[in-house]
Amino acid sequence: MANLQVNLCGVTLKNPVITASGTFGFGREYHELYDIGTLGGVSTKGLTLEPRLGNPTPRIAESRGVILNAVGLQNPGVEHFIECDLAWLKSTGTAVIANVAGKTLDDYKNICEKLDGLVDMVELNISCPNVKSGGMAFGIKPETVEEVTRYAKSGLKKTPLMVKLSPNVESIAANAQAAERGGADCVSLINTLTGMAIDIERRRPIIANNTGGVSGAGVKPIAVRMVYEASQAVKIPVVGMGGITCAEDAIEFLMAGATAVQVGTANFTDPLACPKIIKGLHDWCDRHGVQNVSELTGTLQLNGK
């Protein structure tokens, strides 16, 4: 069988399949269905310094080929994660990627300091509103992307930093470069797009928060394009996500320039999606004579070139 092992910022992953933050909790529920130690990694539910209850309900809505969510980073807080979940998650043998969020620059730095050396990698969710700058998300402008990345990186001495980029921007390439300048060891993309679904009988948005993050199979072409653009713009590794439901989808992202991929919404529609994708990667590589899955990264050849 093909070798699916990949190296991501010095962290060895058994395979390039990581579960995306917010779709897998801390892994316990899925571990009842299969051994999550077979995964390349788990990106945890977004963690904040203090516990958060999240947004009011309803906060999930389905649409054709996508879902919208406005969960609002409901989580038990980083201290609870460290005390109650981290040791168990590490014991499964999968790489542990702690997804973190904050309201201020100091929040990001402080939470990174708490996790430094305890997890395999920290993933920075910069789609959060900056309360000290009028509520605009940290991840919108290149200058704030660079600033929050630099702050977070200053809190990490041992652990690599992955910065998760928002697609709701003018230039994904410029923001990827900003994260690289700020000291990111790699970038992941895309986070959810902003969308709305309307209940036409009530003439009101379905989600209590009015708008939500759009994810699922329908966003994949946008995500593949952005991963390609980001990978062409930076020298650091890129982790691709957005609408992956099968091995062939994952291979598109690898060819577009990703070193690894994250699978999110597919875990809701099929709890066994990730092990099926891993098996599919093995089968595809074997059929095509690919000995190491890492050989696929960045092999896309554009038409006309």
Type of residue numbered 76: P
pLDDT digit string (tens) for 2-46?
A: 999 999 999 999 999 999 999 999 999 999 999 999 999 999 999
Stretch (H or E) spanning 19: strand 17-19
Domains in the chain, ordered, with CATH? 6-296 (3.20.20.70)
SS3 content of the chain, % helix, strand, coil (to 5): 35, 20, 45
The DSSP secondary-structure symbol of 118 reads T
Q: Are 257 and 231 in contact (CB under 8 A)?
A: yes
Mean pLDDT of the 176-205 span: 97
| pLDDT of 26 | 98
Cα 109 to the center of its chain, rounded Å: 19
pLDDT digit string (tens) for 213-266?
A: 999 999 999 999 999 999 999 999 999 999 999 999 999 999 999 999 999 999
Q: Are 16 and 4 in contact (CB under 8 A)?
A: yes
Type of residue numbered 24: F
pLDDT digit string (tens) for 128-187?
A: 876 676 667 899 999 999 999 999 999 999 999 999 999 999 999 999 999 999 999 999
pTM given for the model: 0.97
| pLDDT of 234 | 98
| pLDDT of 130 | 66
- Assess whether the previous peptide bond of 58 is cis (omega < 30° from 0): yes
Distance (Å, whole) CA 142 – CA 221: 23
Distance (Å, whole) CA 101 – CA 105: 10
| pLDDT of 305 | 76
| pLDDT of 1 | 84
Distance (Å, whole) CA 140 – CA 13: 30
Angle between helices 220-233 and 247-256 (to 10 degrees): 30
Q: Are 198 and 206 in contact (CB under 8 A)?
A: yes
Q: Are 42 and 20 in contact (CB under 8 A)?
A: no
| pLDDT of 233 | 98
pLDDT digit string (tens) for 60-109?
A: 999 889 999 999 999 999 999 999 999 999 999 999 999 999 999 999 99
Q: Are 218 and 66 in contact (CB under 8 A)?
A: yes
- Residues catalogued as catalytic: 128
| pLDDT of 133 | 65
- Assess whether the previous peptide bond of 236 is cis (omega < 30° from 0): no
Burial class (CB in 10 A: 0-12, 13-18, 19+), 294: middle
Mean pLDDT of the 190-202 span: 96
Burial class (CB in 10 A: 0-12, 13-18, 19+), 117: exposed
The phi and psi torsions of 212 (rounded to 5 degrees) equal: -150, 175
Is the model's pLDDT at 297 over the cut of 90?
yes
